[in-house]
Amino acid sequence: MPKKILIVDDDPDVRLFLSTLLRDTGFEPLEAADGLEGLELAASGNPSVILLDLMMPRKSGIAMLSDLNNNERLRRIPVIMVTGVTGETGIDLNAFLARGAFVPAGIIEKPVDPDVLIRTVKKALEGSSTDA
């Protein structure tokens, strides 16, 4: 049974690309357009890894991360940040991470290199299975 990977991104193009890539690699992609949908699917879809964009309407990636962190069960799902965020958008990801509340399984910058993404996802899966 293929591992489920949850894609949370408001850009349908990004979702299409990532889902195609993951499916080609043998995973089952789940798609969410913002943080709210993402939280629902994280809880109901039982994903093994979450690919999370930061800038989204309704609920941002940061807010969703915070919610995941507060949930005993969901906290264990590895999260890979997929972001085009630079200092210009006003969110300092490094400062956020430095607070130590959350350690991502990986950070991938857009535009996404398919090889890098797949390698990072696989690494995250290995890490979580070792933990388990």
Partner 1 sequence: MIADGEMVMTGRRISENGLLENGRDGVALFDISGRISACNLAFAYLLGYEQKLLQKRPVHSLFRSHARAVLRDHLQDLMILEFITLETVLVGKRSEPISVEAAIAWMPDDHLFKMVTRDITVKKRLDEYRRTYAERLALEVAERTAQLTESQKELQLQKTTAEGIIYGSPIPMFVLDRDHRITHWNRASERLTGFSAREMIGTKRQWEPFFESPRRVLADLAMDCSPEDAERLYAGMNLRQSQVVQGALEAEHFFPHLGPKGTHLFATAAPIEDEAGVVQGAIVTYQDFTERVTLMAELKMREAYLNNLIQNSIDGIIATDSEGLIAVYNRSAEEILGYTPEEIIGRMRYQDILSHETALAIRDAFYGESYGPPGKILNMTTSLLGKQREPIPVRFTGTLILDGEKEIGSVVFIQDLRELQRLQREKAQAERMAAIGRTVASVAHYIKNVLSGLKGGAYVVRSSIAKGDLDLTLKGWEMVERNLDQIGQIAADMLIYAGERSPVREHLNPIELVSEVVELMRERARLAGVELVSEFREDTGKVVMDRTAIYRSLLNLVANAIDACTLKGMTEGEAKVVIIVDRPDGWAVRFQVVDSGAGMDEETQKKIFTDFFTTKGYAGTGLGLPVTRKMVEDQGGKLLFHSEPGRGTTFSLLLPQN
Site membership for partner 1, residue 2 (CB under 8 A): no
The partner residues of 107 in beta bridges, in order of sequence, read: 81
The contact mask relative to partner 1 for 94-113 (x = CB under 8 A, - = no) is: ----------------xxx-
Nearer CB in complex with partner 1: 109/126? 109
Measured distance CA(40)–CA(22) in Å, rounded: 21
Q: Which region, judged by CB under 8 A, interacts with partner 1, from 15-23, 42-50, 92-100, 122-130?
A: 15-23
Q: Which region, judged by CB under 8 A, interacts with partner 1, from 41-49, 50-58, 72-80, 92-100?
A: 50-58
Nearer CB in complex with partner 1: 63/74? 63
Measured distance CA(19)–CA(34) in Å, rounded: 16
